[in-house]
Chains A and B, each alone.
Chain A
Amino acid sequence: MRFEKIKREAERYVKDLSLRTHILVGTPTCGKAAGADEVVRELSSELKRRGIEIPVLEVGCMGLCFAEPLVLIFKPGSFNVVYRNVDSSSVRRLVEGYIEGDDPCLELALGTIEFDEEGAPIIPELKRFEFEKRILLRRCGIVDPTNIMHYIGVGGYSALEKTLHLPREMVIDEIKKSELRGRGGAGFPTGIKWEECAKMQDEPKYVICNADEGDPGAFMDRIILESDPHQMLEGMIIAGYAVNANEGFIYVRAEYQRALEMVRRAKDDAERLGILGKSVMGTEFSFNIQVIEGAGAFVAGEETGLIFAIEGKRSEPRFRPPYPSERGLFGKPTLVDNVKTFSYVPWIIENGWEKFYSIGTEKSKGTAIFTLAGKVKEPGLTEVPMGVTLNTLVYEVAGGPREGKRIKAIQIGGPSGGCIPSSLFHLPVDYDAFLSSGSMMGSGGMIFMDEDDCVVDMARFFLDFIQKESCGKCTMCRIGTLQLFYLLDKITKGEAETQDLTKLKELAEDVKIGSLCGLGRSAPNPILTTLRYFYDEYVAHVEEKKCPALVCKSLIAYFIIPEKCDRACEHCKLTCPVEAVGGNKGEPKYIIQEKCVKCGTCLNVCPPEYSAVIKVSPIKKLKELEIQNYRKE
């Protein structure tokens, strides 16, 4: 058998690697942004200069984005160590200390690396690993995404090989029994979708991987594709076999250039080894895949919209039924699943449905992946068993709030999700529990908000996004979201009246009912949930013309407290982009309100030991402050 031979070779590659000292550098988009490319360059030249020849692999993201760039040093017979926030000065120290010598440079380390039964990395020094359970992410950040042999060497494509010897019904049955639910957000049972598509007699059939991750704040699909593209590809080929399709499409957002690069490369490599294309692994089953670069439209992530995009049309969703599994791409039966959904498939086939089924809650099985961003100490990506509470995610996994602040809410799943207040952080991560709070799992992007964030401004931001992204096909979404945006805009500008809040709520409910697709139907979620949990903040904006979080520009002003201002310090005056800071050398500075554009630079540059610049709201408070200070002088 040919795959057997490839597998043996791949296993040898992995074994050889494990017997040598080698270095991994995380170079996903986020790592690069943090400076990983410079680290790789510096490492290579430092090693060369010292005449050391060891492999340096560029890998994906471990999810520990707060510590990027990450460097991992594997040293047989010694500790495997992961280093945080590496820069060029620490590179030299690492090479000298731990590559050449025996000093593990613990002052630069984030922790040591061990592996669990899944082969997933664990850093015992980090508390988050007590709560994580990595299935999809088990290879992310430790396997070279550009090297198919690395993937095969750690067990990759074995599930596909197993599948090809099973009857199609058995494969579908396995997925059905595992109770895997679609990870794109809606949570439809995957096995049932597959069964529907497999039943169709019409030919040809298509399989589509939805990698059009458009939710602002969600980036797990990007990380999976950049870090372990073969896992998704393997799941997709298995799906193709199960529903008896011979053609597949992977639709990736244009913004994700590196993910595209990785997916294209993975596809080519799989073709080269006979894992993809004509007669997969020497069997009678053939499967071809095309990688399609998206063109940027949030609505293209909706499955019927996505199909139109692949057909080269405007991605305007259509009414369902017929569902794509019945009539999809080019009018033929089509299976559409998300990157994460496909990625679970090989693991389920490999380990059996029971193992997947045993993880999670009664109705939400398996693990959940979340991106953690916003006002927490350790943002990044995590994978936890379903059922873990939000409290655990906020305070244990994400490291809790930043110094002196309090987390007040989680915005989850982008515009389609909602805002969950801290009083509900006891809720478990579970499709149904989220729905009961008025939110939904959505794509799993989590943005943590603290007291410095304004929920009204956040709702306005999402509606601005949605009305720009609405495809315009149905009136409720096209005009309804625009009117919702105008209302919110009025509120944040302090121009609204009390009855506008009633209007806002009623219209939001109408848009929710009256829209055709998920985009319009979920667009009011940020409004409805914030109205429900943070009504006081809306009232403050409307009645007192005050933004309690000091965010909404029209309702705040900057002020310099004269007695706190160091007269010799000119920071604010020198950096103000519009010359709105007055006061001569040696005199206290003051802000010329008419000129101020409220960019906040003066506040940022004012040395913390003075903290002379403050924000005030409502603006009328400014008068009191000015009079007070005038009297003192």
Chain B
Amino acid sequence: MKKKEEQPSSGSKIIETLIRIQKDFGYLPEEKLKEVATLFGVPESQIWGVATFYNVFRLKPKGKTHIKICMGTACHLSGGERVLEAAERELKITVGDTTPDLRFSLERVACIGCCMLAPVVVVDGKVYPRMSPLKFEELLIGLGEKGSD
């Protein structure tokens, strides 16, 4: 097969396209990865390689409420790990997973750059500063009530 000449503008579009798909579906469905490979004329393995390499990509659906626990240095030093453990305990899932009812998913991120408010938790894009296991429980109760109405 003739090697496709690399297009300065198309190469960078692979990751961009995957990000867009993920924004639409909340994750990267398998059949979509196949479509992307066909679209860019590259082997499917390359697309899988990219999808599994970068942290933002998820191959499983995410929950209605997406909880990110920041595990940057400042968050770690001020008790981020204890917050993460509390989240796992309360949601009864391990980090990276989604609750069976698809209501919550839990993810760890390496520093969102809000170090002076450490430790922080991000729920659907909103940053909650100075968390503790107890405050996380309270936050979750608040989210649960919001989710049920």
Q: Using a CB–CB distance below 8 Å, which chain A residues touch chain B?
A: 29-30, 32-34, 65-66, 204, 206, 213-219, 222-223, 247, 249, 254-257, 290, 292-298, 300, 309-315, 329-331, 371-375, 379-380, 411, 414, 445, 447, 449, 453, 458, 461-462, 465, 469, 471, 575, 577-578, 597-601, 604-605
Contacts and interface: CB of A to CB of B under 8 A. Distances in A.
A578 B137 CA distance: 12
Interface string B110-132: 11111111101000010111001
Contacts of A247: 8
Q: Looking at B11, B40, B116, B125, which has the most chain A CB atoms within 10 Å of its CB?
A: B116
Q: Which of B56, B90, B111 has the most CB of A within 10 A?
A: B111
Given A312-B50, A330-B8, A380 B116 contact: yes
Contact of B56 (A66, A296, A578): A296
10 contacts: A65-B117, A66-B116, A213-B113, A217-B72, A255-B109, A297-B55, A298-B110, A380-B116, A461-B73, A462-B73
Contacts of B18: 295
A294 B57 CA distance: 11
A78 to B, nearest CB: 31
Most A CB contacts (10 A, CB to CB) among B55, B113, B132 go to B113
Given A65-B116, A292-B12, A379-B116, 18 more contacts: A30-B113, A33-B129, A34-B117, A204-B8, A214-B111, A216-B72, A217-B73, A217-B115, A255-B112, A295-B54, A297-B55, A312-B14, A313-B49, A330-B6, A411-B73, A597-B85, A600-B82, A605-B134
Contacts of B60: none
A217 B76 CA distance: 10
A389 to B, nearest CB: 22
B82 A599 contact: yes
Contact of B50 (A314, A445, A604): A314
B77 A458 contact: yes
Given A247-B8, A295-B56, A374-B74, A219 B117 contact: no
A29 B113 contact: yes
A33 B13 CA distance: 32
B46 A604 contact: no
Contacts of B125: 257
Interface residues of B, number: 53
A458 B53 contact: no
A247 B12 CA distance: 13
A458 B73 contact: yes
A258 B75 CA distance: 20
A466 to B, nearest CB: 10
Given A217-B72, A295-B54, A314-B53, A373 B11 contact: no
A446 to B, nearest CB: 10
Contact of A297 (B16, B54, B79): B54
Contact of A453 (B12, B16, B77, B90): B77
Contacts of B53: 297, 314-315, 471
Contact of A33 (B89, B114, B132): B114
Nearest to B54: A295
Contact of B73 (A32, A414, A471, A600): A414
Nearest to B6: A330
B16 A600 contact: no
Given A29-B127, A30-B113, A311 B73 contact: no
Nearest to A604: B132
A330 B46 CA distance: 17
A255 to B, nearest CB: 5
B19 interface: yes
A254 B56 contact: yes
Given A295-B57, A312-B50, A577-B133, A449 B114 contact: no
A254 B16 CA distance: 11
Contacts of B120: 33
A425 to B, nearest CB: 19
A571 to B, nearest CB: 10
A372 B74 CA distance: 10
Nearest to A214: B110
Contacts of A605: 134
4 A-B pairs closest in CB distance: A219-B113, A312-B14, A296-B55, A295-B54
B110 A447 contact: no
Contacts of B74: 216-217, 373-374, 447
A604 B13 contact: no
Nearest to A254: B56
